Copies of this chain bind each other. A is one copy, B any other.
Amino acid sequence: MLDAGYWMLLSPSCKSAIRNLKSKISPGRRPLRAGGRNRTMALIVQKYGGTSVADLDRIQKVAERLIRVYSAGNDVVVVLSAMAGETDRLIQLAHQITNDPNRRELDVLVATGEQTTVSLLCIMLESMGCPATSLLGHQAEILTNRAFGRARIVGIHATRIKELLSQRKIVVVAGFQGRDQQGNITTLGRGGSDTSAVAIAAALNADVCEIYTDVDGVYTADPNLCKKAKKIEKICYDEMLEMASLGAKVLQIRAVEFAKKFNVPVHVRSSFQEEEGTMVVKEEVDMERLAVSGVTYTKDEARITLSRVPDKPGIASTIFTAIGEAGIVVDMIIQNTRKGGLTDLTFTVSKSNFPKAMAIQNEVAESIGAEQVIGDEHIAKVSVIGVGMRSHSGVAAKTFAVLAKENINIIMISTSEIKISCIIEEKYTELAVQVLHHAFGLDSP
């Protein structure tokens, strides 16, 4: 039911829009009572990505959705990204000046992207008769450290947001940005708006944080690659973290970390349809039925092998210190001892770091007397993930058997409590994902 008190404030055109929308409100929502103080309502944080606010038409769609949720009596905080492509455009503009733009100033520049979308959405909402106020990162008091371009949120003083909510306003917060202790504008890095939204939801103790995106949820595998993949209704934080780390691009890792830390229920769903998406929540007992919740892959890694390295103490340290000092993150490492005091050392890095890492290793190889450095960019990492592994034995053995049956050679293996990752030849990626998906009972229906 619509809140009668606020209904009166809406303009006629908006009212008719809401009348139409009203009938669509899903029956699963909490029933509401009219009026101010006594209404039983939820506090909902919604985040919309760049494609959802790419132009005024889409911003209007977002406004309509918000008015629907707001008019149902809920308190609503919205977190927005910049229009799709805008952040890249601004970064490119700065790069026309220099290859290495001052980081503080680059953050000032790119922060205009969300400033534009939040003000436009508020102008849209207000023009539809719905009270709304925008807050930039510093106004919402999203406090970060001073790492420009990749800042981390250290705290949120939600007093201003709460004050505006108590005035029954929709609060529209610029995602991706915050301020440091000195009041400098900072940005959180790629995908930072997810993190903004979850952090704000945590600070407000919101009932749910809804992440609106261009896919309709988290799937058991990439649907583009595995036709039988199905949407996961519920997934726990740890699984989602592994999924995000191991290739699923639907949610930013740091956002999931925040959600886990502050126990924020996250609902990943599509901004283009009404259907429920995937709930990311605390681990529950009924989640443990299946051993494996999903299969992911990434083709973003490359492998480097130093062969016939003299096996002396300190060799590994020499090799990885050089890599670390170049700012390159190493993922998997394997060492095979050969006969005659020699060893082979293999590790993976991201493809973007591969040329630099090869150059460094060629130098290192000479200095430590390794026979040769072999690089391979044609690899993929396929992972099976599930908290169920903790109580189901034999998941690793089954994984290896399934791949072996298809004659897929496993080049490297890495495991954790809830995941098994295998490096294989890139050309087998699709096949590996499909057979694992089938073997662990994930195929729909």
Contact = CB atoms under 8 A, between A and B. Distances in A.
Nearest to A59: B97
A151 interface: no
A123 B139 contact: no
A136 interface: yes
A252 B112 CA distance: 27
A119 interface: yes
Interface in A91-139: 93-94, 96-98, 100-102, 104-106, 108-109, 111-112, 115-116, 118-120, 122-124, 126-127, 132-134, 136, 138-139
Contact of A119 (B109, B126, B138): B109
Given A97-B56, A108-B134, A183-B139, A102 B126 contact: yes
B120 A97 contact: yes
Central interface residue in A94, A106, A119, A132, by most chain B CB within 10 Å: A119
Number of copies: 2
Best-buried of A93, A96, A102, A132 by chain B (most CB within 10 Å): A102
Interface in A250-288: none
A102 B119 CA distance: 9
B123 A116 contact: no
Nearest to A182: B160
A: interface residue count bin: 35 or more
A116 B120 contact: no
B105 A109 contact: no
B94 A106 contact: no
Nearest to A101: B123
The residue in A97, A100, A111 that gathers the most chain B C-beta atoms within 10 A of its C-beta is: A97
B116 A101 contact: no
B101 A109 contact: no
A98 B123 contact: yes
B94 A109 contact: no
A56 B98 CA distance: 11
Contacts of A94: 119-120, 123
A58 to B, nearest CB: 13
9 contacts: A56-B96, A93-B120, A94-B119, A98-B123, A102-B126, A108-B122, A109-B123, A111-B115, A139-B183
